[in-house]
């Protein structure tokens, strides 16, 4: 199968969908001739023109709000927020408007809006361009939250997001943009709420998503020589979340390690731990449920400091060992 990058897979999904459906419009800062801050929309302005690939002012509230309004009256907007941190600028439109419009108006409106945005640290972009804010939105009923870890998933999940009739926050992992992987040609979708088992195991389940999937796989490989077979479950979709896959893998392996880049306290990992603790899997546990997550810290600029606050492969491997001891 051909290999393309995560960024190319996203562009392919968006372009194929725009060719298929003229109600899809694409709005954002510098997405036109410039091609987007991370190059995701390279060439799209030339193909679709300025009417459908619309450069906006630097106005995150207006970008998201415009997407909400256009979605309410029948378009299917995809908006790009240059860094997920900037969602804080547009928070009212995301939380109070997009996520509420259907419910508060008694089901009169659909809001088929996709908010695409790069998430995560690792680029030296410091405190205001490196956060992993998914927990805010998982905690907002009315939002769907997606975090793909491979190019193939990015394509299939983005197509599902665009075809979904609800607001979807599509958290692209900025360190994965250039990572290549096998991506099927043509049209396919991946359903929301279905985790992917990336590595089968029997001793411990690593539950993770986004760019931590690759680190968990490496950590799992590194403990294999010690006789530990770790399963790696990639959630892909954080809201809705595949509780069934979480519970059944936890039940099978009896040990659970949750890994995410976002800071520990109040993070999605706490919810995952609660799902396991509150299920029949609890009675199969041989060790406490543990989280290996980002430190409760802003993301620093310095490369060494920055890396020190996210879970590294040795840290994950050590956590696996301590649970399997």
Partner 1 sequence: MGIPKEKLEELYLKMAQTRRFEETAARLFTEGKVHGTAHFCIGEEATGVGVCSALAAEDLIAQTHRGHNQAIGKGMKIDRMMAEFLGKESGYCHGRGGCMHIADYGSGSLGANGIVGGGIPIAVGAAFALHYRKVDAITVCFFGDGAANEGAFHEALNLASVWKLPILFVCVNNYYAMSTPLGEHMNIEDISLRAGSYGIRGQSMDGNDVVSVYEAALEAKDYVKKNGPMLLVLNTYRIAGHSKSDPQNYRTKEEVESWKGRDPIQNTRSRFIAEGSFTAAELDALDARAAGDVARAVEYAEASPEPDVSEALRDIFAETK
Using the rule CB under 8 A, which residue among 77, 210, 267, 294 binds partner 1? 77
Q: How buried is 195 (Cβ within 10 angstroms: 0-12 exposed, 13-18 middle, 19+ buried)? A: buried
Q: Report in angstroms how near the CB of residue 137 gets to partner 1 at its nearest.
A: 14
Residue 260 designated active-site = no
Asked if residue 71 binds partner 1 (CB under 8 A), the reply is yes
Give the x/- contact pattern for partner 1 in 78-97, rule: CB under 8 A: --------------xx--xx
Within 144-173, the residues that bind partner 1 by CB under 8 A are 144, 163-166
Distances (CA, A) of 288 to 195, 230, 255, 273, 314: 22, 16, 7, 10, 20
Burial class of 16 by CB neighbour count within 10 A (0 to 12, 13 to 18, 19+): middle
Phi and psi of 45, rounded to 5°? -65, -40
Binding mask 10-39 for partner 1 (x = CB under 8 A): ---------------x--------------
Residue 188 as a binder of partner 1 (CB under 8 A): the answer is: no
Q: How far apart are CA 281 and CA 275, in angstroms?
A: 9
Residues 102-121 that bind partner 1 (CB under 8 A): 102-112
Inter-residue contact 71 to 25 (CB < 8 Å): no
> What x-and-dash track marks residues 203-222 binding partner 1 by CB under 8 A?
--------------------
Residue 295 interacts with partner 1 (CB under 8 A): yes or no: no
The three-class DSSP label of residue 192 is coil
Backbone angles phi, psi at 176, to 5 degrees: -95, -10
Catalytic residues, by residue number, are: 129
Footprint of partner 1 (CB under 8 A):
25, 51, 54, 56-57, 59, 61-75, 77, 92-93, 96-97, 101-112, 141-142, 144, 163-166
């Amino acid at each position: 199968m051909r290999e393309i990058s995560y960024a190319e897979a996203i562009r392919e999904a968006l372009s194929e969908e725009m060719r298929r459906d003229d109600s899809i419009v694409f709005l954002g800062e510098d997405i036109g001739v410039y091609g987007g801050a991370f190059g995701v929309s390279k060439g799209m302005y030339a193909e679709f023109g300025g009417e459908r690939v619309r450069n906006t002012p630097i106005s995150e509230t207006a970008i998201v709000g415009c997407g909400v309004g256009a979605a309410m009256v029948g378009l299917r907007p995809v908006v790009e927020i240059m860094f997920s941190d900037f969602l804080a600028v547009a928070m009212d439109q995301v939380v109070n408007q997009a996520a509420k419009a259907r419910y508060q108006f008694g089901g009169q409106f659909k809001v088929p809006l996709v908010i695409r945005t790069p998430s995560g640290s690792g680029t030296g972009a410091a405190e205001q361009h490196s956060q992993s804010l998914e927990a805010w939105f998982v905690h907002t009923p009315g939002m769907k939250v997606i975090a793909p870890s491979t190019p193939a998933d990015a394509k299939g999940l983005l197509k599902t997001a665009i075809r979904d009739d609800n607001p979807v926050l599509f958290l692209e992992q900025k360190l994965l943009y250039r990572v290549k992987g096998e991506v099927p040609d043509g049209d396919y979708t991946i359903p929301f709420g279905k985790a992917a088992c990336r590595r089968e195991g029997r001793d411990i389940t690593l539950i993770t998503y986004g760019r931590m999937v690759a680190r968990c796989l490496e950590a799992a490989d590194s403990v294999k020589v010690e006789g530990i077979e770790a399963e790696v479950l990639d959630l892909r979709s954080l809201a809705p979340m595949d509780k069934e896959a979480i519970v059944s893998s936890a039940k099978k392996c009896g040990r659970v390690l949750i890994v995410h880049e976002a800071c520990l306290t109040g993070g999605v990992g706490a919810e995952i731990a609660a799902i396991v603790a509150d299920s029949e899997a609890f009675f199969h546990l041989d060790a406490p449920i543990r989280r290996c997550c980002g430190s409760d810290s802003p993301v620093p600029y310095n490369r060494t400091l920055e890396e020190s606050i996210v879970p590294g492969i040795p840290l994950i491997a050590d956590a696996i060992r301590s649970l399997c001891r």
